[in-house]
């Protein structure tokens, strides 16, 4: 089948585009492309994309990707000429990500990682689109005892019967779906394994810790760590992740699964103390029971992403925290987590 013509700009579909990472991705893609953003606001917020709505190359459709989506059925997408041009790229980010309300969205999480990935891949087949699945570091399983960094060829180990399995094993199934569609339908499906990410537009009061650290430090309240003094993690700033996603989609040859994260291991206590220093706070740190969705994870081996994508994280932790603090101060009243 002949390729559909690309007019002045590519058409790009982003599922979960009003989410934390998705909204930053949409913003970056608008520099070169027309963007169709799908989201149902389950764990995201309209305020994340308010600044994009007036852009003529951006269109938001409130839709649950667990229900089939036909872009040609929406009059508001007529200017995208999808019937004639198609959709050149699809980024599938849609999946509930609420730490404190994880148990409330277990079925929706299951659907996003099964029915949602199917519907998204079916669109890629229909329009011969390049496809990118936003996977996660949890496909590798828990932090390894020996502390080694995860390479992409590792199989990982996940408890398929745990309460988290709808997310952890769900993401593994989504990767399998990508490979199967690639083998059967020749979809160019790329897989990004994203490690713990932070930055502006993360929801507050949802257990994600970094935005809550900042808000509580500004308000003189206790900074809550959901774990003990030994809790360690890697943290990558959101714009670095977006840069990696776009680079992964853009390389000519599909390189296979790709780690996108920081390989620097930091104690969460140190991060909390640094935030208090940067905000001039006199708050204290307290330790709470662990949350099911917020656990200690392993670190990525970035050799492949450096060699295949020419990608490395560029934003230092101090710089990223400063940007996040500045954003939180400016937008604090808009950031409260809402369940739609």
**Active-site annotation, residues:** 167
How many Å apart are CA 320 and CA 323, to the nearest integer?
5
How many Å apart are CA 209 and CA 198, to the nearest integer?
10
Strands 33-39, 10-15: pairing is parallel
How many Å apart are CA 237 and CA 259, to the nearest integer?
14
How many Å apart are CA 82 and CA 207, to the nearest integer?
39
Among 256, 247, 265, smallest CA distance to 304 is for: 256
How many Å apart are CA 236 and CA 112, to the nearest integer?
24
Taken in order 194, 226, 267, 332, is the CA torsion positive or negative?
positive
How many Å apart are CA 303 and CA 158, to the nearest integer?
24
How many Å apart are CA 110 and CA 168, to the nearest integer?
10
How far is residue 334 from each of residues 47, 131, 203, measured CA to CA in Å?
Answer: 7, 32, 10
Q: Scanning the structure block, which residue is given the tokens 């149902």? A: 40
């Amino acid at each position: 089948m002949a390729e559909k013509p690309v007019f002045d700009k590519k058409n790009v579909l982003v599922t979960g585009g009003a989410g934390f990472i998705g909204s930053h991705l949409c913003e970056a893609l608008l520099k070169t492309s027309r963007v169709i953003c799908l989201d149902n606001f389950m764990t995201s917020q309209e305020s994340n994309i308010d600044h994009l709505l007036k852009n003529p190359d951006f269109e938001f459709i409130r839709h649950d990707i667990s229900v089939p989506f036909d872009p040609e059925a929406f009059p508001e997408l007529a200017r995208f000429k999808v019937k004639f041009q198609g959709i050149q790229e699809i980024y599938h980010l849609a999946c509930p990500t609420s730490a404190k309300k994880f148990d409330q969205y277990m079925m929706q999480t299951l659907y996003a990682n099964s029915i949602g990935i199917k519907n998204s891949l079916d669109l890629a087949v229909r329009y011969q689109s390049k496809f990118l699945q936003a996977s996660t570091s949890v496909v590798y399983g828990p932090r390894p005892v020996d502390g080694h960094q995860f390479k992409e060829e590792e199989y990982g180990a996940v408890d398929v019967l745990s309460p988290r399995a709808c997310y952890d094993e769900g993401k593994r199934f989504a990767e399998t779906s990508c490979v199967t569609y690639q083998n059967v339908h020749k979809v160019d499906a790329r897989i990004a394994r994203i490690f713990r990410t932070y930055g502006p537009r993360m929801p507050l009061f949802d257990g994600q810790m970094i935005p809550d650290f900042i808000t509580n430090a500004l308000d003189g309240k206790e900074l809550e760590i959901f774990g003990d003094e030994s809790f360690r993690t890697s943290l990558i700033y959101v714009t670095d992740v977006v840069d990696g996603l776009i680079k992964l989609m853009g390389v000519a040859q599909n390189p296979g699964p790709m780690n996108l994260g920081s390989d620097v291991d930091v104690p969460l206590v140190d991060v909390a103390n640094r935030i208090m220093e940067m905000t001039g706070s006199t708050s204290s740190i307290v330790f709470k029971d662990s949350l099911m969705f917020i656990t200690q994870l392993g670190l990525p081996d970035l050799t492949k992403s450096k060699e295949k994508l020419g990608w490395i994280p560029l934003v230092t932790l101090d710089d990223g925290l400063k940007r996040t603090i500045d954003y939180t101060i400016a937008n604090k009243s808009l950031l409260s987590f809402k369940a739609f």
